[in-house]
Chains A and B, each alone.
Chain A
Amino acid sequence: MKTKKKWDTRKTDYLERMSGAEPYINNGKVVAAEDTINVLEAVIRLFDRVNIEGNNQKQANFLAEALIKCDTQRIHDLYMVQSAVPLPVHLDMFEVGIAKKLDFAYGGPMGGRVAEAIKNGKLELGAIHTYLELFARYFIDLTPRVSLICAYEGDADGNLYTGFNTEDTPAIVEATKFSQGIVIAQVNKLVDKVTRVDIPGEWVDMVIESPKPFFLEPLFTRDPANITDTQVLMAMMAIKGIYGEYGVKRLNHGIGFNTAAIELILPTYGEELGLKGKICTEFALNPHPTMIPAIESGWVESIHSFGGELGMQKYCEARGDVFFLGPDGTMRSNRAFSQTAGHYACDMFIGGTLQIDKYGNSSTATATRVAGFGGAPNMGCDAKGRRHPSDAWLKCGAEFTSQSEYLGPMPRGKRLVVQMLESFGEKMVPGFVDELDAWQLAKNANLALPPVMIYADDLTHILTEEGIAFMHKCRNLEERMAAIRGVAGFTEVGLAAKSTETKALRDKGIIKTPEDLGIDRQRANRSLLAAKSVRELVDWSDGLYDPPARFRNW
């Protein structure tokens, strides 16, 4: 005899939770800021999977601060599924027991506390993901029951304007709402009519005007004043030896001074090499202020952004031919789409790292910090699902010597994945190592895997101040290791290089030094930078770029 099974328990549960919040909801979906803790206590249950929106840029910090003030008798052992935990409050949550488990992508400045919390049993770590990977799991096995999100504007019907900093919001809300979950938004401003509907009101249960605007970190702002002559040399090698060589048009740049230097010599050195229009025309990229001179000089046709960068909003809005603007005239970023673009539609990822081991595995993990890599691994890998060709992709694939070992004569392209690393980093710490610190971290924090940002089999080029190693041109691991030694300078790894071996690799075009590339080292200095200070970036932008206070040196 078949028992009658209920198929709407999620819905029933949702209605039951919402009824607890009902007394605090007025005028449509509005909740007063002082009732925030009451509604959180009403709708969140023990062991719930909860998302607090936040990534390396914007943060729903008001709601996070409210959640930690909730009664720990009523709410504890939550399972946090969220992009990032970069604020102290995110970790305090585990200290006081409100939260127990965590699946995330980026720890940033709290990386050390994550490791500590794991060690003393306060935090049970699921896994470290990439952004896209975590979003994917929101729709499979990590669907949030309650999501606490943030927006610039909200109205009484729940419509939200997330604008320039839309970022993760659509992915979170869609996963939560379409599984009958609860979505609570903190907004900077309650308005009668939102500037643009980025999230439809139907998908939002409560709107709270926060006393202060949500927190925004200008993570992608690099002050040109801090770029070194060595970084300029490496940028010259990148442009001449890789961008120009492969004709890379569609790409992503990582965060850091290495790529900032490249961006700033496009209008000078790049122009001189006659590469304008032939490289760097389309990007999946945050609105880097250091891109302004290249954009103003007409290098760039299109940029789609993961998030917004503090101070760049007006500039982006005034450059509608380049950035993605809504019908209302303001930009919309979208991390899920931009990550997808970075994974499938870009021919190259280039960025810095902290360590590369002798096999070519690269990681920014250190022994005591569980920081995660955000989106870098999705861009810094060969997109195995890619089927459309492009010149750069095909050329790299054709050079990929060991590909035929798997495919026979079948042609296939390959993404260029470039890591830039000076042989010695800050405080003379070697960049090339025998074993990545990630192994020690895995031990310290009980991780199943050493966190690797880019695996050796995806890495095609290593660029140091010594030269470029073309990893994919190597026949086997042995040759790849020799190529790494050849560009690893005076590190222990580099000192093991044999000069005859390195010479042979140079002859084969597997290693190229600045001289091999015809680059005059005398010219490798800051005078090549199109802008040498934040002030000059402002001038390039016609005053449209409004840098955060901490970057103003005038």
Chain B
Amino acid sequence: MSSKWENIQKRSFLESEARTRALGLVDPGTFTELAGPRHRISSPHLPLLGEAVEFDDGIVTGVGLIGKKPVFVASQEGRFIGGAVGEVHGAKLANIVRMARKAYDEMLASNPDLPEEKRPAVIISFDTGGVRLHEANAGLLAHAEVMDQFQDCKGKVPIIALIGSRVGCFGGMGFVAAASDVIIMSQFGRLGLTGPEVIEEEMGKDEFDASDRALVYRTTGGRHKYIMGDCNVLVADSIAAFRGALQEVLGKLYAEIAEMSCIGSLEKIQYQLKLVDLCVETAPKDAKDVWKSAGNENPDDLTDMPLDEFLTTVKRLTDRY
């Protein structure tokens, strides 16, 4: 299949590798990869452990355009060690965010009246289980650096998270995604902190059966996260659908985008605490109990109904509380 931009649009986001996603999310012909495979910056740690390296260390970073807006893109590759964040991978991620913020500072310094539509944004397509255990210290440090960069972007550069790839977004990267301004997911995307297998290993199969994929998805999947309010936009599983949602979000003013974030103000924290109270009050045994609390009379029907119907039918906690 040709990798022409038009063909990429129709492709399943879930099925697409990191580079295809990066290429397809921005306008045709505008993507330039930075620190790409030709530069051969690979992990210095993996060879010591006898593990194979990849020349992009499992992440594609670069710049492109969406309309007039310069976008700084990071796209993780779950097929390389589960998209885990090692030293180089993490440095590429932190630096693409840093570049976006520096670009913003320079652009605004030379032209304080730069219209919003031309101001930079960051998009991160997550496909990761979190820190790479082979180089855990460097990987964890990278998480902190990325969060730091996120903070520096506040008030300047919006950060949009896209989650709909095979591995999902777990571990420390779950925190990172939660610290972004907007999360766009498909129903196949999964977002969480501790991954299902790890919960099962630590707490036992009775607590969480990781082989029960229906359970895993209704606890961490896109539909659930949408009901919870963690995910702002739920889209179909194609690159075009993710791109469409991105265009819509990036068409807003920065202030509107920042308002979509789950964190960042006392009000938002109070809302989060309200959800904790609700949890204590109702003691849900299953995600479906939460869906019921959100006002969905027949939570059983929500898992299987087609996406369009789901989006028009579903009641979200954000509507209610």
Contacts and interface: CB of A to CB of B under 8 A. Distances in A.
A554 B12 contact: no
Interface string A359-384: 00000000000000000000000000
Given A525-B1, A554-B221, A549 B304 contact: no
Given A523-B1, A525-B1, A543-B304, A553 B211 contact: no
A538 interface: yes
Contacts of B212: 549-550
Contacts of B215: 549
Interface string B231-252: 0000000000000000000000
A552 interface: yes
A553 B166 CA distance: 10
B304 A532 contact: no
Given A549-B215, A552-B214, A554-B303, 11 more contacts: A523-B1, A525-B1, A527-B15, A535-B188, A549-B212, A550-B211, A550-B213, A551-B213, A553-B221, A554-B217, A554-B222
Contacts of B228: none
Interface of B: 1, 11-12, 14-15, 166, 187-188, 211-215, 217, 221-223, 303-304, 306
B1 A553 contact: no
Interface string A196-231: 000000000000000000000000000001000000
B303 A552 contact: yes
A269 to B, nearest CB: 12
Contact of B217 (A526, A527, A539, A552): A552
Contacts of B1: 522-523, 525, 527
Nearest to B11: A527
A419 interface: no
B15 A549 contact: no
Contacts of A166: none
A549 B213 contact: yes
A533 interface: yes
B213 A533 contact: no
B305 to A, nearest CB: 9
B304 A538 contact: yes
B15 A532 contact: yes
Contacts of A525: 1
Which of A522, A526, A535 has its CB near the most chain B CB atoms (within 10 A)? A535
Contacts of B303: 552, 554
17 contacts: A225-B166, A526-B15, A532-B12, A533-B14, A535-B188, A539-B306, A543-B304, A549-B213, A550-B211, A550-B212, A550-B213, A551-B213, A552-B214, A553-B188, A553-B217, A554-B188, A554-B303
Given A527-B1, A532-B12, A553 B304 contact: no
Contacts of A554: 187-188, 217, 221-223, 303
Interface in A341-361: none
Contact of A553 (B15, B213, B306): B213
Contacts of B188: 533, 535, 553-554
Nearest to B210: A550
Nearest to A524: B1
Interface string A512-544: 000000000011011100001101001100010
Nearest to B305: A543
A543 B223 CA distance: 18
A67 to B, nearest CB: 27
Contacts of B11: 527
Contacts of A522: 1
Interface in A168-183: none
B135 to A, nearest CB: 23
Nearest to A525: B1
A526 B213 CA distance: 22
A496 B201 CA distance: 45
A380 to B, nearest CB: 31
Contacts of A526: 15
